[in-house]
Amino acid sequence: MSFPGPTGASDNRGMDQSREITVEVPRAWDRPIVTMPVLVFLSLVGGQLPSFSTRANLYTISLGGAMIWLGLSNRLPRRPTVTPGRGTIWWLIPVAVFGVFEGSTFLLGSTPEFPTFSKLADPLLEDELVRSAVYLGWLSAFWGLVRR
Amino acid sequence: MSLMRALAIGGFVVAIALFCAVEVAARREGSKIPRLGDVCAYVMRYEVGRLPVGRIGVFGLWWWMGWHFLAR
């Protein structure tokens, strides 16, 4: 919630009113005890839908679309952000290792002998419980990104 | 299992282990390494004019990953 200043006050016009310092009133439903069961329920439903099916496509596209709409519409309060320092460079190591293997397996045709990550994951994701768990991870991370 | 398949699996396992290791290091007290969420949040702050290019890009990438792994 932001409080407007007194009418005609002009002594702080030059201040940067960034959204990072805006205090939001927490909503009653905006707590893990409410949101997590909803995400678990959506994940269990998603885990029942088989790969390559129209229902799975529509469900994933709809959920992702709803998350993006929430994330772009400024309807939810966002966590304050920090500017990362030079330590960010450490993240390049896992990204580079993953990129080298994903890129090389993709360029060589993603064969059973040298498969991409998604080809390796496909047999694991055929199990409904594993699909639901991955769905929960995907949705939870999406929810976290929306709040950023 | 052929040598090439073992190499691919090993490479992805190492990459995932490295992601976990850097995140654990970032969560230590006084760490100079930012958490992955902080890096994502920083990227999401990028705007061109009033267009939130960073948010659109990160959301779009995550949306595509979910669709790629869970719908097809």
ipTM: 0.90
- Chain position carrying tokens 């290019």: B53
On whether the CB atoms of residues A135 and B52 are closer than 8 A, the answer is no
Q: Which residue has better confidence, B51 or A18?
A: B51
| Residues of chain A with confidence (pLDDT) below 50 | 1-18
Percent pLDDT > 70 in chain B is 100
Read off the DSSP letter of residue A58. Answer: H
Chain B residues whose beta carbon lies within 8 Å of the beta carbon of residue A134: 69-70
Chain A residues whose beta carbon lies within 8 Å of the beta carbon of residue B60: 68
Chain A residue with CA closest to B62: the answer is A142
The pLDDT of residue B7 is 96
For residue range A34-49, list pLDDT tens digits in order. 899 999 999 999 999 9
Chain B residue with CA closest to A55: the answer is B71
Q: Which residues contact A14 (CB under 8 A, 6 or more apart)?
A: none
C-alpha distance from A23 to closest chain B C-alpha (Å): 18
Among A51, A68, A98, beta carbon nearest to B59:
A68
Inter-chain contact A121–B72, Cβ cutoff 8 Å?
A: no
The pLDDT of residue A123 is 92
The pLDDT of residue B19 is 97
**What single-letter amino acid sits at B32?**
K
**Dist CA A145 CA A125 (whole Å):** 24
**Dist CA A107 CA A65 (whole Å):** 30
The pLDDT of residue A25 is 60
In the structure encoding, which two tokens stand for residue A48, read together? 């029942």
The pLDDT of residue A23 is 53
Chain B residues whose beta carbon lies within 8 Å of the beta carbon of residue A77: none
The pLDDT of residue A26 is 64
The pLDDT of B35-49, averaged and rounded, is 94
The pLDDT of residue B32 is 94
